[in-house]
Chain A
Amino acid sequence: MHTNESTTSLHGVMAEFDSAQEIVDAARQTMAQGFTKVEAYSPVPIEELNDIIHKTRTILPKLVLTGGITGMASGFALQFWASTMAYPMNIGGRPQASWLTFIIPSYELTILFAALTAVVGMIVLSGLPQPYHPVFNVDRFSMASSDKFFLVVESADPKFDQQATTEFLRSTGAKGVYDVDE
């Protein structure tokens, strides 16, 4: 293992694991140590892992709800405006503000706005698109898309100490621990 802090700064320390259960256990221990800037990389989705390392909730659900309500309000307003002000027509003697008939398009716009907010919000909040990420500087990391599991403690973490963190990750049963250059 090389340490040349003088030339390149460090993104963090990466630990490699062989199984989902191992990385879940290691993540638990890591969080118990009080680390906060922790990220995990896995070839398969591990719902539990996300709950362990991401303590703070994303604001995405609230954005989606806001998007949905906006869609509903604007869909309803559009129809109300069109049928009572812009182009009022007598259709079978029904009231011009026939709100019952407005419900379906309003509902569709609720779903449309909510879905678009979810997709765009997910991309933006994830920081995508991201053409460069330091974890790819570690050669072993290519295995993250086949059968290895990686846990990274980032140097931005207030508890981060290159030596101590490396030793700690070894103690969690990591198959290898690597420095991640920035």
Chain B
Amino acid sequence: MSSVTSETFKAGDTPLPGLKQFGLIAAALGVVLTGAGFMMAGEQGAERFFQAYLVAYTFWTGVALGCLALLMVQHLTGGAWGIVLRRPFEAAVRTIPFMAVLFLPIALGMHHLYEWTHDSALTDPVLMQKAAYLNTPFFLVRQVIYFAIWSALGYLLTSWSAEHDRTGDPKLVDKMASLSGAGLVLYFLTITFAMVDWTMSVNPHWFSTIWGMLYIGGQGLSAFAFGIMVLVMLSQTAPLNKVLSTHHFHDLGKFLFAFLMLWAYLSFSQLLIIWAANLPEEIPHYIVRWETSWRYLSAFIIIGHFIVPYALLLSRDLKKNAGKLKVIAIWIIFARIADYYWHVAPEFHKEGLSLSLLDVALPLALGGIFISLFVSQLAGRSLLPVNDAGLEKALTHHVH
């Protein structure tokens, strides 16, 4: 493996042409359906658009942010799993500045999404107490800070990594590791605040102190599901078909399994604590989701987001089978979107289940845009970090 150069694993100008095409079609179809859904929703069009947009945006940006976190974890811990996923993670991270632009509709639709922007909040005794944090100017300033931090971390890590491909300078490895240490602390803080802003504050009377962690674990799960899907697709053609083996997918399958359990653990922790305390300011969150027709979605989340993938991922044969693992990963991506929908939509439709075409169209549209951006970012660079000290071991790690 001593003759490895960046040319060996060059992605070419159009890696994953099928996925790119899928992304563009999904984006176009999603936009058309969004238009149709907007018309069909009539008077409620604007409200329903912003609600669906928030869910779709939180999920797809969350994939990129999860990739950022896992990239930083990998710079600190090393390991074969991360070396083969590094370039897909980096490509996802480089979409963050574009995703920042896509935040604009949320900023414009704040009045539709956030009760605390209404005049009534000025006289609401609870919201008056929270006004120092939940007010429009500070909200917007915070968003600028979050995206500045995420984009800067992503920019530095990916450009140092590209430079390391060219020069092999070992100082860059130390720089990436040092930044990742501080970066992970910043990631945990910013995600906690950002998710309180984006999704928890749609009901400003309610709170959960585990909310940030729930999203951090969820983003890790989303990022692994997305990363596995992409890596399986990359493993089918040159140059990665020669180096990716069942061992890599077995490892990644174990990670997917672990993050699925982490997500379930955090979600259950929130439920158990709120259910056991049964306090009037906390319990409405679950009353809406279980005592109305939302319970069907709740049951679907428990079964489809946890029990079924958990039972399947117990199997070692499945984790070693790239094709089957990809199916599970794509299923988890769908379940993740349903989970975020479950976080947001019941707050606006407390009477019960209320699905509109927009709730399907916008995840499709933003997903298509994200995937197209991702594939473009993957092009041009080597698909493996060719100067990484652990690369040879990562590619042959089954022979000890």
Contact = CB atoms under 8 A, between A and B. Distances in A.
Given A61-B316, A65-B314, A100 B399 contact: no
Contacts of A65: 314
Interface in B255-277: 268, 271-272, 275-276
Contacts of B275: 100
A45 interface: yes
B400 A20 contact: yes
A77 interface: no
Contacts of A139: none
Interface in A37-75: 44-48, 61, 65
Contact of A101 (B272, B398, B400): B272
A92 interface: yes
Given A61-B316, A65-B314, A47 B276 contact: no
Given A61-B316, A65-B314, A92-B278, A48 B272 contact: no
A103 interface: yes
A92 B279 CA distance: 12
Contacts of B268: 103
B271 A100 contact: yes
Contacts of B314: 65
A47 B314 CA distance: 20
Contacts of B271: 100
Interface string B288-326: 000000000000000000000000001010000000000
Contact of A100 (B272, B316, B398, B400): B272
B316 A46 contact: no
A46 B400 contact: yes
Contact of A103 (B272, B316, B399): B272
A24 B398 CA distance: 12
B268 to A, nearest CB: 7
Contacts, number: 27
Contacts of A61: 316
Contact of A48 (B278, B316, B399): B399
Contact of B400 (A47, A92, A94, A104): A47
Nearest to A104: B272
Contact of A45 (B278, B316, B400): B400
Q: Which of B268, B316, B399 has the most CB of A within 10 A?
A: B399
Interface residues of B, number: 11
Interface string B197-213: 00000000000000000
A104 B276 CA distance: 13
Contacts of A44: 400
A103 B276 CA distance: 13
B32 to A, nearest CB: 44
B399 A20 contact: yes
Contacts of B398: 47-48
A157 B125 CA distance: 84
A128 to B, nearest CB: 23
A47 B272 CA distance: 42
Contacts of A104: 272
A59 to B, nearest CB: 14
Contacts of A103: 268, 272
B98 to A, nearest CB: 41
A16 B271 CA distance: 60
A21 B275 CA distance: 58
A119 to B, nearest CB: 18
A52 to B, nearest CB: 12
Contacts of B399: 20-21, 24, 46, 48
Contact of B276 (A20, A21, A46, A101): A101
Nearest to A21: B399
Interface in B381-400: 398-400
A48 B245 CA distance: 13
Nearest to B276: A101
Contacts of A46: 399-400
A104 B275 CA distance: 14
A178 B272 CA distance: 64
B170 to A, nearest CB: 28
Contacts of B400: 20, 44-47
A142 B75 CA distance: 41
Interface string A98-129: 00110110000000000000000000000000
A107 B190 CA distance: 32
A46 to B, nearest CB: 6
Nearest to A42: B400
Contacts of A47: 398, 400
15 contacts: A21-B399, A45-B400, A46-B399, A46-B400, A47-B398, A47-B400, A48-B399, A61-B316, A92-B276, A92-B278, A94-B276, A100-B272, A101-B272, A101-B276, A103-B268
Interface of A: 20-21, 24, 44-48, 61, 65, 92, 94, 100-101, 103-104
Nearest 3 A/B pairs, CB to CB: A100-B275, A100-B272, A44-B400
Given A46-B399, A47-B400, A103-B268, 15 more contacts: A20-B399, A21-B399, A44-B400, A45-B400, A47-B398, A48-B398, A48-B399, A61-B316, A92-B276, A94-B276, A100-B271, A100-B276, A101-B272, A101-B276, A103-B272
